[in-house]
Amino acid sequence: MVLRVVFKVLLAFYLVSAVLYTTDYFLFSPLRLFLVGHVPQPLAFWSTTPFNSFFAKRVSTSQETVPDLVLGGSSEDAVHWSSSPFTLKNGLGHDKPVIMSEDLYFSKAFSASMGASKIVPFFYRATGTFSKEDITITTLVTSNRFQVFARLVERYPGPISVTIHVKNGTENVHELLDSLHMLYLSSSKMFSNVDIHLVIDAFDRQFNTWRNIARFFARTDFVMMLDIDFSPCTDFRTAILNSKVVMDKLRTGLAALVIPAFEYPKHEDGIDESRFPRSKSALVSLVRAGKIAMFHASWGPGHSSTDYNRYYAASPGEVYKVTSYQSAYEPYVVFKKDGPPWCDERFIGYGGNKAACLFEMYLSGISYYVLADHFLIHQNHLYEETARRIYSDFREEACLRYLTLFRNNGMLNDTRGSNAREECQKIRSIARIATELYLGHIVWADEDVKQLLGPIADVIHFDTPTRADFLAAFQPNGKYHDVEIVDGFSSSVKWIAHNGAGYDQIDVLACKAKGITVSNTPGAVDDASATTALYLLISTVRQFSISERSLRQGKFKPSGLAPKAHDLTGRTLAILGLGGIGMRLAELAHAFPMRIIYHSRHKVANAPEWCEYFANVDDMLAQADVLSVHVPLREETIGLVGENMIRKLKKGSIIINTARGKVIDEEAMIRALEDGHLASVGLDVFPNEPEVNPRLLDFPNITLLPHMGTENQDSQRKMEVRALTNLKDFLTTGKGKDVVTEMK
């Protein structure tokens, strides 16, 4: 009797289960898949169903191939990423593989031992459309801060890219996703403006990693790094986008715009953001009444680099440069997405993670500018930790890295290197290294110094440890290029022998006003620079870059390459600027033979007959298969090869640049590569070295070199000997043959 009852119960349970399973399989599952492909937000059906994971999968097949997710640009430089079984089991991730760039995929190199982070980009994807030149707020949110984030979304009218961390051991993952789902559906601004990306791992408080993810997937050219508990009290976005001066500064990639931060000293006063002031005049009144103060004034110097007294006194619309930078400075900034360094992901937890990121940005040559009409106010809450410091060992490491980069690229004396020079000299263990790198020394021609100058002059090797000592040493009774150094020279300084062909690092006009002659070393670099240009020419015309990438990825020969590649013989090379380097390249290319045409300010008297001169540059461009640029960087040559000149070239032509990066309008060149007007480019120089525009790295068909034109000991010894010879000629005859053009 008992067995019969048990049997009936089991049979009934089996029948009910079978009906539920069949209904779900044949009815609800197809319906769910259909709706997920047509509705912009994830859908939760039965949160209690025993057969379904709680959450429908976010990305359909069609959504996986949208441009924002095809990160690598082509299969040659991308990998396919798949969601783990655990991820799928908990209702996260993607049903099918997602294309992901190698750089992102390999950012967690120790995946076997550490357990790599799993990234789910665009788990929720905003339905709105954004201009490329808009400003995306990039931020991170933890599960207990959803409501604070919702308030930020309501206050900011532009796009937002946010990273949300899901710990893969979280027992409450379903509750977290349920809360996230309700949050996303809570406001039309949320699902029209906000992209949400998940990062799934066992780690905690990897704030810089999460910041990088939000920035990486931002869909606009400019971003603002902001913490969610800061309320935008003014419309800085509209003010920036409507100001040509400010936007031009942002587009350079060398400026970050600071929105000053404030807080209520009394904790309870700063909780309700609806009471926050919405104009600068109201803010200043509260500051003077002692009710509002600069953010974290007790953690000085920190935010004090903003110079709040100047901020209060600034006139409407004023934008001023931060001149009293401190390494603990961590403002909230708007900057160009591509170009600035990424946040160092070794910083975990509170205390200096963002300051370290901004310190590295500053060292890279980015200057901070304060928008004096705008401000943020902190929504007060309790912190789990109170320490706020930037770690000394990181500062030392970052200083060494950037000083060496600038020195190796010949930029340490430039304006771009000034932040690193000045900031790193504040660190006692780095100061001597910084100044030695800055002041420099003879490397390859040390013995030649004695031979060339020893018999006719007293050769003094300066050993001044700082820039101030170096300047003092040139004053009367001292022991021995910018305006500051030139002004510091005594009247006895008559000649500066620059060790290089390009001399845009030297303030020539300041030298001329001081009565100092400047020489350079033009002929010494002709062979090395010309052969570098020739290498780029061959590689781009034959499309060797694609072939090398293919081989390194284990594919012997890429298919379909022959229709894109050409032989050099019989093709036309146009040279813009037939100086020493241009002439040497012409001789090398003519041997193939290639047809050589050129344009210079004047017809070159000693040019061979086979070098055809074009007085009109447009006529030359119309006949060129390859354009090689060899003009010096001066104010009038910045952006010389711009949209107009590039479009005058034939469709499918190639540009080679071994001169200076700023001679070419980089954005115009990239647009021409994207629409196919240019078949390829070969670049040895870039506008903001040592930074390289990441968009260039996505083109498999172009050849890039890190300014290697004279990077060999033979050429560098030639340069040093020629610079010393110029000094010798001046000391013996009062003249030198390599005087720069502006002084002839």
Helix ranges restricted to H, 94-164? 102-105, 111-114, 146-155
pLDDT over threshold 70, residue 510:
yes
Q: At what angle do helices 173-184 and 146-155 cross, to 10 degrees?
A: 20
pLDDT over threshold 50, residue 52:
no
pLDDT over threshold 90, residue 388:
no
| DSSP-assigned beta bridge partners for residue 28 | none
Structure-model confidence comparison of residues 498 and 282, the more confident one:
282
The catalytic site residues sit at 660, 689, 707
Mean pLDDT of 611-640: 94
Residue 595 sits at φ, ψ, to 5 deg, of -75, 130
Helix ranges restricted to H, 141-243? 146-155, 173-184, 188-193, 207-216, 236-241
Q: For tokens 């009934």, name the residue.
A: 12
DSSP-derived pairing of the beta strands 230-232 and 332-336: unpaired
Q: At what angle do helices 526-542 and 544-552 cross, to 10 degrees?
A: 80
Q: What confidence score (pLDDT) does residue 109 get?
A: 43
pLDDT over threshold 50, residue 167:
yes
Q: What confidence score (pLDDT) does residue 408 get?
A: 73
For the chain, what are the domain ranges? 229-390, 397-439, 446-519, 524-704
Mean pLDDT of 276-301: 86
Q: What confidence score (pLDDT) does residue 500 get?
A: 80
Q: Which amino acid is at 172?
A: N
Residue 195 sits at φ, ψ, to 5 deg, of -100, 130
Residue 103, number of CB atoms within 10 A of its CB: 14
Strand residue runs (E) in 436-553:
495-497, 517-519
Two tokens, residue 32: 């769910």
Q: For tokens 């340490």, name the residue.
A: 412
pLDDT over threshold 50, residue 493:
yes
pLDDT over threshold 60, residue 573:
yes
Per-position b or e across 719-728, b if 16+ CB within 10 A of its CB: bbbbbbbbbb
Structure-model confidence comparison of residues 46 and 739, the more confident one:
739
3-state secondary structure 562-605: HHHCCCCCCCEEEEECCCHHHHHHHHHHHCCCCEEEEECCCCCC
Of the candidate ranges 26-35, 462-471, 596-605, the one whose mean pLDDT is the lowest: 26-35
Structure-model confidence comparison of residues 717 and 667, the more confident one:
667
Indicate the average pLDDT of the chain: 79
CA 140 to mean position of chain CA atoms: 20
Structure-model confidence comparison of residues 471 and 365, the more confident one:
365
| Contact present, 214 and 352 (Cβ < 8 Å) | no
- Report helix, strand and coil shares of the chain as percent, to nearest 5: 45, 15, 45
Q: What is the DSSP letter of 367?
A: E
Q: For tokens 């600069």, name the residue.
A: 294
Of the candidate ranges 179-188, 274-283, 587-596, 673-682, the one whose mean pLDDT is the lowest: 179-188
pLDDT over threshold 70, residue 601:
yes
Q: What confidence score (pLDDT) does residue 470 get?
A: 58
Percent of the chain clearing pLDDT 70 (strictly above): 71
Q: What confidence score (pLDDT) does residue 371 get?
A: 96
Starting at the earlier edge strand, list the strands of the sheet with 376-378. 230-232, 376-378, 261-263, 293-294
Q: Give the pLDDT band (50/70/90) at residue 393.
A: low
Mean pLDDT of 585-609: 94
Quick one: which of 679, 622, 681 has its CA closest to 647? 622
Q: What confidence score (pLDDT) does residue 111 get?
A: 45
Q: Give the pLDDT band (50/70/90) at residue 445.
A: low
Record: fold of 446-519: Rossmann fold (3.40.50)
CATH code linked to domain 524-704: 3.40.50.720
> Matching CATH topology for 446-519 and 524-704?
yes
Residue 84, number of CB atoms within 10 A of its CB: 14
pLDDT over threshold 70, residue 19:
no
pLDDT over threshold 50, residue 187:
yes
